[in-house]
């Protein structure tokens, strides 16, 4: 996968108070587990899994996002060989699926970031309801996305690879018509 | 937009993230192979489709992905409450039901707007 071309490669957009840019390759793992496997999984990850809805935990290069009561998305540096480490936990009951190349990530930043996202995302993205570190699976226009607030005016958006062109164009359309 | 309370995400979320999934509390017969075609039809196809208070299954499809149940009025579209899958039907008080009833027949949805300027 060394020469994998990302679908949004070499695209970029910046305007007054808004910057939209693709994020490069990441290692992504979709994790399903229950209490019995938490201890060993957390040892492999080197962080505590968030157990509260809409929260995430970041340590060093790795972020764990709460998606559902037994579902997490792990984001980390590309080629961190997380899957090999999970593969060694033979006796535990859990599921870890490498979805690194299923998703694409886009960074949306600037003081108008919330306004641009709210053109397609129906969630309350005010700092009170969606503070820094909050994350959620939701929708952006017609596409399903996972949104993570990395800063007061900075968001990490994950969408499926095949939806990335649609999401990108919708974002640009919103950003240019502010 | 309708806001629906997801019992797993523990907050009100926009309607667009949800998907209706039919009538709630349908119990699958344990002896599926032995039941008569008539009983199977009842289980598989026949629904109450009631006008009024309904118990429905919903799925937070574009959220936590979980199925849950809801008590809702099918005419006014208002939710009384939502609860986790597997929990029994909640006891609903008369006040709770009265709060979601649609306006009585003949009541206009909005007060008619009378403009004083036009009444010359």
Cβ–Cβ below 8 Å for B62 and A68: no
Average pLDDT over residues A142-164: 97
| B15 contacts in chain A (CB < 8 Å) | 122
- Residue among A69, A123, A144 whose CB faces B64 most closely: A69
What's the pLDDT score for residue B118? 58
- Residue among B1, B11, B63 whose CB faces A138 most closely: B63
Query: Using CB atoms and an 8 Å cut-off, which of residues 54-73 of chain A contact chain B?
Result: 54, 67-69, 71
Average pLDDT over residues A2-13: 83
Banded model confidence at residue A2, pLDDT cuts 50, 70, 90: low
Residue A101 has a CB neighbour count (10 Å cut-off) of 14
Cβ–Cβ below 8 Å for A139 and B17: yes
Average pLDDT over residues A127-140: 97
Q: Express as a percent the part of chain A with pLDDT over 70.
A: 98
pLDDT tens series, chain B, 120 aa: 889 999 999 999 999 999 999 999 998 999 999 999 999 999 999 999 999 999 999 999 999 999 999 999 999 999 999 999 999 999 999 999 999 998 887 777 666 667 666 555
Cβ–Cβ below 8 Å for B14 and A67: no
Average pLDDT over residues A108-115: 97
- Domain enclosing residue B104, as ranges: 3-118
Distance, in Å, from the CA atom of A28 to the CA atom of A103, rounded to the nearest integer, reads: 8
Best of B9, B19, B84 to mutate (most A CBs within 10 Å, chain A): B9
Banded model confidence at residue A18, pLDDT cuts 50, 70, 90: very high
Q: Express as a percent the part of chain A with pLDDT over 90.
A: 87
Considering only CA atoms, which of B20, B100, B93, B15 is closest in space to residue B52?
B100
Cβ–Cβ below 8 Å for B65 and A137: yes
Nearest Cα residue in chain A from B65: A68
Is the pLDDT score of A4 beyond 80?
no
Banded model confidence at residue A3, pLDDT cuts 50, 70, 90: low
* Average pLDDT across chain A, whole number: 94
pTM comes to 0.88
Q: What is the DSSP letter of B6?
A: E
| Structural class in CATH, domain A16-176 | alpha beta
Average pLDDT over residues A90-108: 93
Q: Is A41 on the interface with B (CB under 8 A)?
A: no
Residue A145 has a CB neighbour count (10 Å cut-off) of 23
CATH value at residue B22: 3.30.2270.10
Cα B100 to Cα A98, B79, B90, B94: the distances in Å are: 46, 7, 16, 10
What's the pLDDT score for residue A74? 97
A-to-B residue pairs, Cβ atoms closer than 8 angstroms: 40
Total domains, chain B: 1
pLDDT in tens, A30-87: 999 999 999 999 999 999 999 999 999 999 999 999 999 999 999 998 877 899 999 9
What's the pLDDT score for residue B65? 96
């Amino acid at each position: 996968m060394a020469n994998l071309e990302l679908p949004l490669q070499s695209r970029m957009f910046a305007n007054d108070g808004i910057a939209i840019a693709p994020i490069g390759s990441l290692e992504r793992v979709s994790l399903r587990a229950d209490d019995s496997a938490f201890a060993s999984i957390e040892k492999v990850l080197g962080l505590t899994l968030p157990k509260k809805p809409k929260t995430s935990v970041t340590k060093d290069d790795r972020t764990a996002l709460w998606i559902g009561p037994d579902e997490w998305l792990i984001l980390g540096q590309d080629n961190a060989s997380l899957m090999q480490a999970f593969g060694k936990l033979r006796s535990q009951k859990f599921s870890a699926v490498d979805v690194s190349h299923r998703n694409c990530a886009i960074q949306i930043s600037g003081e108008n970031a919330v306004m641009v996202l709210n053109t397609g995302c129906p969630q309350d993205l005010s700092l009170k309801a969606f503070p820094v570190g909050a994350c959620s699976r939701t929708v952006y226009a017609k596409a399903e996305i996972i949104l993570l607030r990395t800063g007061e005016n900075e968001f990490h958006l994950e969408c499926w690879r095949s939806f990335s062109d649609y999401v990108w164009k919708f974002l640009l359309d919103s950003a240019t018509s502010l | 937009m309708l806001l629906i309370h997801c019992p797993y995400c523990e907050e009100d979320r926009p309607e667009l993230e949800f998907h209706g999934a039919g009538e709630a509390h349908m119990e699958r017969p344990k002896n599926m192979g032995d039941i008569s075609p008539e009983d199977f039809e009842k289980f598989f196809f026949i629904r109450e489709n009631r006008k009024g208070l309904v118990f429905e299954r919903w799925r937070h499809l574009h959220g936590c992905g979980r199925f849950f149940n809801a008590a809702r009025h099918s005419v006014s579209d208002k939710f009384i409450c939502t609860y986790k899958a597997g929990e029994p039907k909640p006891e609903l008080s008369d006040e709770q039901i009265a709060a979601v009833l649609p306006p009585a027949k003949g009541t206009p949805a909005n007060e008619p707007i009378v403009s004083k300027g036009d009444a010359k």
